[in-house]
Amino acid sequence: MHLAPTTQDPALQMFDESLGLAPGRGRLQGRRIVVVGAGQRDIPETDPPVGNGRAISTLFAREGAQLVCIDSAQAAVQATCERIRAAGGVAHAEVADVRKKEDIAPLLQRCVAMLGGLDGLVLNVGISHGLPMHRLTADSWDDEYAVNVRSHMLFAQAALEVMAPGGSIVLMSSLASQRVSRNPAYESSKAAQVALMRAIAGAGERKGIRCNAVLPGLIDTPMGRDATRARPNRAVAVPFGRQGTGWEVAYATLFLISHESSYVNAHPLLVDGGLGVGVMRR
């Protein structure tokens, strides 16, 4: 009988896909996709990990999609687009503050004009003020909901008007939507995204447009590293002895945006290594 190795080395469970090293396979060839939240934050490290938005954008371009990448930080979104173009992909950059509700529909219309149509939309933008219940204010609550929920509704509303039949929308929620993490505005806004995802799926069904959500767990991104600096014991018992990578989030998003998931609709896909149901490294 062959027994599986019992080593604690996390690298045994990582692959080229986990590291963003796998070649493209044409899974999105000819698709026209907008990624909102395509940049990533700067952190005080010389070799930071890739963020979810940058990984998603880079992977989609590698798989043959043409992109418009949107972010609030010009340098960040330009860096994402430059990476894509250097690899031979097509990406246009747009800078926007999604808090400005009146700008969202015209912005999406510009994106559609640049791409010549719309086949997919990824809503990755999100913020967290990290305030516990006793420190929440009406203004901080409204700000998180404006970015994390209202902007998603407005982008989806505009997209449903112009997206080609058979298109796909993906919202980036979080494992935090499923459990207590002492961050109520973030937790509840991420849970609201899951409910909104179901509503979008219902609204898009007649046109053949699907909507799903990705719920990352503890992922090694710039945002994740900032969270770990603030709470060093945050990721001590993660499954497989490691956090996930932005590339692993990107591949889950790729599946949901592609035609491979053509009968997957209104589904919250956890990308957490099983942490949400109690799988962890003891």
Residues with a catalytic annotation lie at 186
DSSP character at residue 79: H
| CA 196 from centroid of its chain's CA atoms | 15
Distance CA 215, CA 212 (A): 10
Looking only at the bridges linking them, the beta strands covering 219-220 and 244-245 are: parallel
Alpha helices in the chain (DSSP H): 16-19, 52-62, 74-86, 101-115, 138-145, 151-162, 184-204, 222-230, 246-257
Q: Comparing C-alpha atoms, which of 81, 102, 84 is closest to residue 94?
A: 81
Distance CA 106, CA 135 (A): 36
Distance CA 183, CA 186 (A): 6
Distance CA 188, CA 6 (A): 39
Q: Comparing C-alpha atoms, which of 68, 213, 198 is closest to residue 126?
A: 213
What is the chain's alpha carbon radius of gyration, rounded to the nearest angstrom? 18
